Chains A and B, each alone.
Chain A
Amino acid sequence: MADGLHIEWLGRVPYDEALARQAQAVEARRAGACGDRLLLLEHPPVVTLGRSAREANLRTPRAQLAARGVAVREVARGGDVTWHGPGQLVGYLIVDLAARELRDAHAFLRTVEAALAAALAGLGVEADGREGMTGVFVAGSRPPRKLASIGLGLRGWITWHGFALNVTTAPDAFDDIVPCGLHGVVMTSVARELGGAPPALFDEARAAVARAFAERLA
């Protein structure tokens, strides 16, 4: 049974710790100990490589990254390489699709895209999904300017992982990698699209995202 969506703000959490907490949350969800959850947080700088990641998409040598305090993690997920860090709002969705009678990962992905687009509209950035590309992009941008990455995992019918929305990320945040191995996609942020960051932009984004998901997954 799905009764609503419980949304939590965890603050800044190291990647490994967040991964462990997600795994626990999935187990708890499976056991019925809790309902569906959206964990919102921020990571210290980390580069994660999915299973199909190619080292060539890491532009900066690992040693150099380590020296700058950027962790590198190989993760048991599909996809290529990505970056998480300050200014990026990360959301982990622990949702039992079977309990919601929504046994369609693709449909759920579209829900996530739609929620993020709605949150972004509230912040003044028009965004949408792209046919054939997972993620949320500035509407009509060519080449595509990407605001949020989405990477969902399924354990049975319980989702985990989620999205990463660039809110006030530094312009050079993604310079160390070729994001998702996609050449020709430009990573952008809400702040950059607005032409500057109002003081409480990150908090506003967090509230807007929480609202958008609460509406769709109530």
Chain B
Amino acid sequence: MSIAVELPALGESVLEGTVARWLVKEGDRVEQDQPLVEVTTDKVDAEIPAPAAGVIEAIVAAEGDVVPVGGVLARIAPDGERPAASPRDAGAASAQPAPRAPAAPAPAVRPAAEAGPAAAPRPVAPARPVAPAPAARPAAPPEPPRATPVARRAAEAAGVELAALEGTGVGGRITKADVERSAVPAAEAARGAAPAPRAAAPPARASEPSQARAATPRAPAARAGAPHSAAAERFGHYAVQEGDRVVPMSPLRKLVAEHMVYSKQTAPHVGTVAEVDLGGVVRLRDERKRAFQEQHGVPLTFLPFVVHATVRALREHPALNASVLEDAIVEKRDVHVGIAVETEKGLVVPVVRHADRLSLAGLAAAIEDLSARARTKRLSADELTGGTFTVTNPGREGNLYGFAIINQPQVGILRMGEVVKRPVVRTVDGEDAIVIRPLMYLALSYDHRAVDGAPANAFLHRVKQLLEEADFDV
């Protein structure tokens, strides 16, 4: 039985690591304690040693992959269970009573995950076929296709069956290029052969029921966020074309995708927009930003103003600081505001806890600290959970307004637009006049299961009012 090389718990606050560099290849023989792979975490760089001597059967996590603590990095076929000890060779060795080769088939089995739940215990197969299997052994179960991790993922992404491919890599391994070459015809074949897009396995292997599962053990997880089977069949999936770049989803991307689909399916979203005159806030910010930076060590942006106004409004409108729980609506005592942060790895939403207890400076510092650490991946799990409402500021130019997807299990999310100067009509000394004001569109998405239009608009209007009054203690 192969031994899994797992990412050890390197520290109580270390939750995951990124595979930086493999020091060995599949098929390499390793000694116990030999460094196999370098993994970087937010705290330390660690070389993970081999738990036992043997042959690297499979590298499971590719360079650049983020692996959770306990996640499998590689599998080792340990010494003593390699081909020499397998019943296949034991039969050939006939009367020689080899100490580790019992006459009856060895009870060693492949891990269930590889063999498929229905498969009977199978004899251990050599990790690498040293020579072609003799023709007289038609009953021997076929090897799972050997492929590089990158190729496996490309195949999953493109819906290509690995078993159908001819490997051109080292030792006949299937490479990403092999997958890409086959992707176009395979996808076309799948469309023609609907409704079974995965039926493209070659006839020679079609009799092996566990083969398909063994070849794509991670297929369901890899399909996160993608339209699912039946619907995908009806409405069609994209056939990868030559020249396309197939980018596997990172774990974070998959999580975001799943969350978005879940939220849209769960909560009927309604959007509403307020036009906010930020004249007062702009003046305050211009007056104070220099001193603020000096005093608090963080820049004074619009975001803390908006968050400050939001938490005050949430206090007055608890219906927006809520969750839907089965057939009840839970209004929460505490106000913890999630701040959406775009990082190199994707979207994360750290949470400012008890945001209603913080001053404007406190909010600014907390937001700055959380976003800086989000970008350097130094957030703890606690800091990413427990939000009761979310504010997002995509903040790129040309962003007039848009409706964000609610961060479940919350019931509202506020999305900031770009601050732009516009001519507006104001009444000055009883006369209407056109004046130039810095405006921002503030868009609220809310869950209509929990909140109706009138209270949602009242809440949004209150945020607008607070921002326009600009009564902030900076």
Q: Which residues of A are interface residues toward B (Cβ below 8 A)?
A: 30, 51-52, 76-78, 103-109, 131-134, 142-144, 151-156, 159
Pairs A-B, 4 closest by C-beta atoms:
A142-B297, A106-B11, A154-B46, A78-B40
Closest residue of chain A to B379 (Cβ to Cβ) is A132
Residues in chain B near residue A156, CB distance under 8 A: 33, 35, 47-49
Residues in chain A near residue B38, CB distance under 8 A: 76
Residues in chain B near residue A107, CB distance under 8 A: 11-12
Task: Check B345 for interface membership: any CB of A closer than 8 A.
Answer: no
Whether A154 contacts B45 in the complex (CB less than 8 A), given A105-B10, A107-B11, A142-B297, comes out as: yes
Flag if A105 contacts B40 (CB, 8 Å). no
Closest residue of chain B to A134 (Cβ to Cβ) is B43
Q: Contact mask B34-54 → A, CB, 8 Å, 1/0?
A: 010010110111111100000
Flag if A105 contacts B11 (CB, 8 Å). yes
Residue among A51, A103, A109, A143 making CB contact with B40, cutoff 8 Å: A51
- A131→B383 CA distance, assembly (Å): 13
Closest residue of chain A to B299 (Cβ to Cβ) is A184
Residue among A77, A105, A155 making CB contact with B43, cutoff 8 Å: A105
Q: Contact mask B288-325 → A, CB, 8 Å, 1/0?
A: 00000000110000000000000000000000000000
Task: Check B14 for interface membership: any CB of A closer than 8 A.
Answer: yes
Residues in chain B near residue A144, CB distance under 8 A: 297
Residues in chain A near residue B13, CB distance under 8 A: 106
Residues in chain B near residue A109, CB distance under 8 A: 11, 43-44
Flag if A105 contacts B44 (CB, 8 Å). yes
Flag if B378 contacts A132 (CB, 8 Å). yes
Residue among B12, B20, B33 making CB contact with A78, cutoff 8 Å: B20
Interface residues of B in 9-42 (CB under 8 A from A): 9-14, 20-21, 33, 35, 38, 40-41
- A133→B297 CA distance, assembly (Å): 15
B351 to chain A, nearest CB (A): 15
Task: Check B369 for interface membership: any CB of A closer than 8 A.
Answer: yes
Residue among A78, A132, A133 making CB contact with B45, cutoff 8 Å: A78
B275 to chain A, nearest CB (A): 34
Closest residue of chain B to A159 (Cβ to Cβ) is B44
Q: Which residues of B are interface residues toward A (Cβ below 8 A)?
A: 8-14, 20-21, 33, 35, 38, 40-41, 43-49, 296-297, 369, 372-373, 376, 378
A/B pair count, beta carbons within 8 Å: 71
Flag if B44 contacts A51 (CB, 8 Å). no
Residues in chain B near residue A132, CB distance under 8 A: 369, 372-373, 376, 378
B431 to chain A, nearest CB (A): 48
A50 to chain B, nearest CB (A): 8
Flag if A154 contacts B369 (CB, 8 Å). no
Closest residue of chain A to B38 (Cβ to Cβ) is A76
Whether A105 contacts B46 in the complex (CB less than 8 A), given A78-B40, A132-B372, A132-B373, comes out as: yes
Residues in chain A near residue B11, CB distance under 8 A: 104-109
Residues in chain B near residue A105, CB distance under 8 A: 10-11, 14, 41, 43-44, 46
Residues in chain A near residue B33, CB distance under 8 A: 30, 156
Residues in chain A near residue B296, CB distance under 8 A: 142
Chain A to chain B contacts (Cβ below 8 Å), 28 pairs: A30-B33, A76-B21, A78-B44, A78-B45, A104-B10, A104-B11, A104-B12, A105-B14, A105-B46, A106-B10, A106-B11, A106-B13, A106-B43, A107-B11, A107-B12, A131-B369, A132-B373, A133-B378, A134-B43, A143-B297, A152-B43, A152-B45, A153-B47, A155-B46, A155-B49, A156-B33, A156-B47, A156-B48
Residues in chain A near residue B9, CB distance under 8 A: 103
Question: Could you say which of A76, A156, A159 has the most chain B C-beta atoms within 10 Å of its C-beta?
Answer: A156
A78 to chain B, nearest CB (A): 4
Whether A154 contacts B10 in the complex (CB less than 8 A), given A30-B33, A105-B44, A109-B43, comes out as: yes
- A156→B35 CA distance, assembly (Å): 8
- A151→B296 CA distance, assembly (Å): 28
Flag if B44 contacts A152 (CB, 8 Å). yes
B152 to chain A, nearest CB (A): 25
B113 to chain A, nearest CB (A): 27
Knowing that A77-B45, A104-B12, A151-B45 are A-B contacts, what are 13 other residue pairs whose CB atoms are under 8 Å apart, sorted by A's residue number? Answer: A52-B40, A76-B38, A78-B20, A78-B44, A105-B10, A132-B372, A134-B43, A142-B296, A153-B44, A155-B35, A156-B47, A156-B49, A159-B44
Closest residue of chain A to B372 (Cβ to Cβ) is A132
Flag if A153 contacts B46 (CB, 8 Å). yes
Closest residue of chain A to B365 (Cβ to Cβ) is A142
Residues in chain A near residue B376, CB distance under 8 A: 132
A114 to chain B, nearest CB (A): 15
- A154→B41 CA distance, assembly (Å): 11
Residues in chain A near residue B378, CB distance under 8 A: 132-133
B195 to chain A, nearest CB (A): 46
Residues in chain B near residue A151, CB distance under 8 A: 45
Residues in chain B near residue A142, CB distance under 8 A: 296-297
- A156→B36 CA distance, assembly (Å): 10
- A144→B35 CA distance, assembly (Å): 37
A126 to chain B, nearest CB (A): 17
